[in-house]
Structure 1
Amino acid sequence: MANQEPKHSRPKLSDVCVYGLKQEDEFVGIRYNDGDLKVYFPFGYSRPSSDEEQKYRDDILNLVSVLSAYSKESLGVGENRMLNDENVHFPIHAYIHVFNYFLNHGYYVENEPVYKRAKGGKINWSKTIKQVRPQIAGDFPNESVVYLDFVTKKSAHNENELITQIHKFCVYEAYEKIGCLFGFMQPEKAIVPFNAELFVSVLRTRMANTFNEKHLLLFQNMLDIICYMGKREDNRKASFGTNDFEYVWEGLIDHVFGIDDKDKYFPHCTWKIDNDEKSLDWRSEKRTALRPDTIMELTDDCKKIFILDAKYYQYPRTLPGTGSILKQIAYAEFIETQLRDIPDQAGNDIFNAFILPYAAEDGRNVETSYRLENFGYAECDWRKGDAQDAKPYERIYGILLDVRSIMQRHPKSSDKDIAELAAKIDNYSNIMPSSSSLSPSS
């Protein structure tokens, strides 16, 4: 069935995977270039603790899962610019499914009988009675039921063999692109040349006459591969990923720690136009200039609100600038005005934090399940007044979040995780001295 001998040119997954480095174009994902496969992980995603192939394979599949969850197909084209069109159209899940099916079941071989309506042939009376309306012949009381068409078994040897060859073609194509993820199995090449129009027609015809869900799923993934290849001028290159991983980073943090109805905390503006009875209300989602990445709430003795800004920056080389700091304070002040009419709520219950990625070191004493660490805080010089009148949100605390831990657990959240992050911010704010220093501390 397949050549089980090792393919000597097959690279080690440890050589395929690139950890801890930012690419010039900021790409995160999988790139195939004329036989060379590379997998680029985001900054802060640490290398596995052991060199077992399965560890690297798990990392790659996890990366694919995370990128898929935050692609334009998942979140809507208008909501972000996560994965560009050329990248996201690469049907990597179809490639993985087709090769997995081959490893588990071998090549697809048609065993189901195919039926058609015809005047003659080997009649299946059960299907004929259910699917064909009979005609009534003769006059009462000598009426009789007559079938003018029958459901007959179709001889489809050539078509069945072609389906098998199309599967062989898709399996080999998947092996060429991502085969190193699955071991040493080198499949046979199909004997039929690539013909997108013919392959698509045969697959769609078979899907219309197949009721086996497992086979339907296989055919759909084969169809995705064929359609993708048919639209590509250069099939020697393929990629699945994003040049804007910061949107993935924001999405991960929002899903894990954020509330769903954070739009109630969005500041809005209205233009008043001279000599015009109407006002322009800038309240639509697309026109809202200030939108917090994540709002986290903790309800204990009283509600505490945490405004989290996810920054995909390389600490300590890059830190959020003045504009980001001022926006965090503006969010907090707006929320404070929203809470004035609520008993026991005040600005003392609002906190600000930046969340930056990092790779937690093995053996380091990190207490939280998401491996969180404080590194410092930022504040504005002109807001330094009486320390007793200062609001907690006027300091924006820096938190490092281990990338591997959050990507492996996406998008799970729990009250325990939220409480751990809240404690990192709240407890740190209670021990920090009054200072205007913006320097990070370890």
Structure 2
Amino acid sequence: MFQMNDPIFRIDGELIESHLIDKFNLRNFSRNLRFSYKKNSEVVNFVGFVIKDSDILVVLPKRYSNKEILNRSDIELLFAVLLTDQIRNPQKYTGPVKEFDSSFPFHAFYSIYSYFKQYGLYKESEKITISGYSGKISWKDTIKKSANIISEGNLIYLPLYVQETEDKHVFLSNCMAFAISFTLRTFPYFVQGKEPVEKFNHFDFWNNRAYVVNRLKKIHTEVFKDTHKRLVKDLIDFFSNCPEGGSISIKHYNFELVWESMVEEFLNGFFTGVNETGLHFSQKRHVNTPYKFNKAKYNVDKVHSQNRLEPDHYYLNNEVQFIFDAKYYFEVKGLNHKQVAYQTLLKKMATKTHNALILPTDTENRTSIHFDLKEEYYDNEEDRVKIFEYYLNMKGVMENYVK
């Protein structure tokens, strides 16, 4: 079994030592690091993992609790969040700017492993007919393919065609077993599962990868069931993109996108309302959510259509609107003018407007006031602008997201 050293944990946006920068070759891509003028030093600029030989660097999100001992469960949680967000929100991962980078084909692996859990290793066989005289005669093929001979008044078909079962599963089974075992052994911190009982043979998959991929492509044209075609396609993806060794990375360069997804999941599952003290949430997930939040878009400028308002998390009915924005910050600095503009420009959409910034914390969930307009600056209560800050525990939100 492959053994890894104890993981090294760091936090997105925090200082990272120069020896770790060199150890994990973080300067090989400019987005891995950024210079912080506040800290007067380089800081980590991604969330995820870098594996080099037997060492692993784990970069957790901002405000992830580091007051407790971090262990394997934290690695598994982060990996599950990154994978879950890609599956649920594939539209966020398209476009010219690549926010997520993985040098390992985990999507292909999980699809292969899902097939394995449901069906086991591939064991499909096919019936073929060959000319011969030993076996079960296939009269359909014999009549269709054989010559008709009249002998002493009897019609004889020659040659006879007999039916045999030819197993086609050995190569695909070996490919599946290798992909599953290799991944489970290489990523013991990330992926939990059981290796196939049947062991693949000693074929050198790495040095014969071109042959493996070409043979899989040929097999893809020979199988007909959708589940089998998908399996072969995933195996092609795995062997085409799996790195043989060296450095393996799984990095998200804009974790704010994931934070937005996690916040919306939490709002739709637990939010109950707002009063003068702030936002309120239930202890248990709603069976039927009373509020359904979505990203909104309002074209408010009749001259420049590109000047749109786009609140991250928005809910509207005839009486009330909630305008919430997820902010992936260590701390709030100064007034968030965008939230003031949201409420000012959209106040006529409902009788009552509630406004909040939602931020991560490594402590308990809590509410504070971000902005409350003085009475002398408005005449009617509906013109009052009050913005809350609601702090959600980062680890708790991540655990909720992957359940």
The bucket for the TM-score relative to the shorter chain is: 0.5 to 0.7
Which position in structure 2 is the counterpart of 1:166? 175
Distance 1:27 1:305 in 2: 34
Instruction: Please tell me whether the aligned partners of residues 379 and 394 of structure 1 are also in contact (alpha carbons under 8 angstroms).
Output: yes
Question: Which amino acid in structure 2 is aligned with residue 90 of structure 1?
Answer: F
Shift of 1:245: 0.6
Structure 1-normalised TM-score? 0.60
CA 1:115–1:74 in structure 2 vs 1: closer, same or farther (change >3 Å)? Answer: farther
The equivalent residue for 2:387 is 396
Q: 1:332 aligns with which of 343, 350, 364?
A: 343
Say whether residues 1:354 and 2:364 are aligned partners.
no
**Partner residue in 2 for 1:367:** none
* Structural mapping, 1:24-423, within 5 Å: 24-46=43-65, 53=72, 55-56=73-74, 58-69=76-87, 73-75=90-92, 77-78=94-95, 81=97, 83-84=99-100, 87-88=101-102, 90-96=104-110, 108=121, 111-116=123-128, 118=130, 129=140, 134=144, 152-153=163-164, 161-171=170-180, 173-175=182-184, 177-181=186-190, 190-194=202-206, 195-209=208-222, 219-229=232-242, 235-257=245-267, 259=292, 263=296, 266-271=298-303, 282=305, 287-297=306-316, 303-315=319-331, 319=332, 321-322=334-335, 325-337=336-348, 339=349, 345-346=350-351, 349-361=352-364, 372-378=365-371, 385-386=376-377, 389=380, 391=382, 394-410=385-401
Kindly indicate whether the alpha-carbon contact (under 8 Å) linking 2:293 and 2:313 is maintained by their aligned counterparts in 1.
no
**Residue deviations 1:288-321, cap 9 Å, x none?**
5431111134x6xx72211111110002xxx155
Contact 1:200 1:226 in 2 (8 A): yes
User: Structure 1 residues 204 and 211, CA, compared in 2 at 3 Å: closer, same or farther?
Assistant: same
Shift of 1:93: 3.4
Secondary structure of the corresponding residue to residue 45 of structure 2: coil
Q: What's the CA shift for 1:355? A: 0.8
Indicate the percent of aligned positions where both proteins have the same amino acid. Answer: 18
Structure 1 residues 33, 168: CA separation in 2 closer, same or farther (over 3 Å shift)?
same
Cα pair 1:210 1:216 within 8 Å, conserved: yes
Tell me, what secondary structure is at the counterpart of 2:315?
strand
Cα distance in 1, alignment partners of residues 384 and 162 from structure 2: 75
SS at match of 1:352: strand
Go from structure 1 to structure 2 and tell me whether the alpha carbon gap of 1:327 and 1:296 turns closer, same or farther (over 3 Å shift): same
CA distance in structure 2 between the aligned counterparts of 1:88 and 1:335, rounded to whole angstroms: 40
How many angstroms does 1:409 deviate by?
Answer: 2.0
Structure with greater strand share of residues: 2
- Structure 1 contact 329–393 (Cα < 8 Å) conserved: no
Whether the 8 Å contact between 1:92 and 1:240 is mirrored in structure 2 is no
Look up the match of 1:424.
none
Contact 2:5 2:55 in 1 (8 A): no
Deviation at residue 19 of structure 1 after TM alignment: 5.6
Question: How far is 1:173 from its partner?
Answer: 3.8
2:4 corresponds in structure 1 to 10
Partner Cα distance (1:95, 1:199) in 2: 16
Q: Report if aligned partners of 1:82, 1:248 keep a CA contact under 8 Å in 2.
A: no
Confirm or deny: 8 A CA contact 1:29 1:63 kept in the other structure: no
Residue type of the partner of 1:192? D
Tell me which residue corresponds to 1:365: none
3-state SS of 2:108 partner? helix
Distance 2:160 2:98 in 1: 54
String of CA shifts for 1:300-358, please: whole Å, max 9, x gaps: xx72211111110002xxx1555xx3322222233223x3xxxxx43xx1122111111
CA RMSD of superposed structures (Å): 4.8
Alpha carbons of 1:90 and 1:254: their partners in 2 closer, same or farther (altered >3 Å)?
Answer: same
Distance 1:149 1:47 in 2: 76
Alpha-carbon spacing, 1:360–1:210, altered in 2? closer, same or farther (3 Å): farther
Q: Which runs of 5+ in 1 are unaligned?
A: 1-5, 272-280, 340-344, 362-371, 413-442
* Residue-by-residue CA offset, 1:112-170 (whole Å, 9 max, x unaligned): 434446555977667x85x99937988xxx998979996854656xx755445434543
Higher helix proportion, which one? 1
User: Is the Cα–Cα contact under 8 Å of residues 359 and 403 in structure 1 kept in the other structure?
Assistant: yes
Q: CA 1:330 to 1:64, structure 2 compared with 1: closer, same or farther past 3 Å? A: closer
CA contact (8 A) 1:165 1:190 kept: no
Instruction: Quote the offset at 1:18 in angstroms.
Output: 4.5
Amino acid across the alignment from 1:336: K
Q: Secondary structure at 1:385's aligned position in 2?
A: helix
Partner Cα separation in structure 1 for residue 180 and residue 236 of structure 2: 12
**Aligned-partner Cα distance in 1 for 2:113–2:257:** 30
Distance 2:257 2:384 in 1: 24
DSSP 3-state at the match of 1:179: coil
Provide the residue aligned with 1:439 in structure 2. none
Contact in 1 for aligned 2:298/2:310 (Cα 8 Å): yes
Q: Given that residues 122 and 153 in structure 1 are in contact (C-alpha distance below 8 angstroms), is that contact kept between their aligned partners in structure 2?
A: no
Q: Distance in 1 between matches of 2:143 and 2:128?
A: 15
Is this contact kept in 2: 1:267–1:334, CA < 8 A?
no
Distance 1:386 1:21, change over 3 A: closer
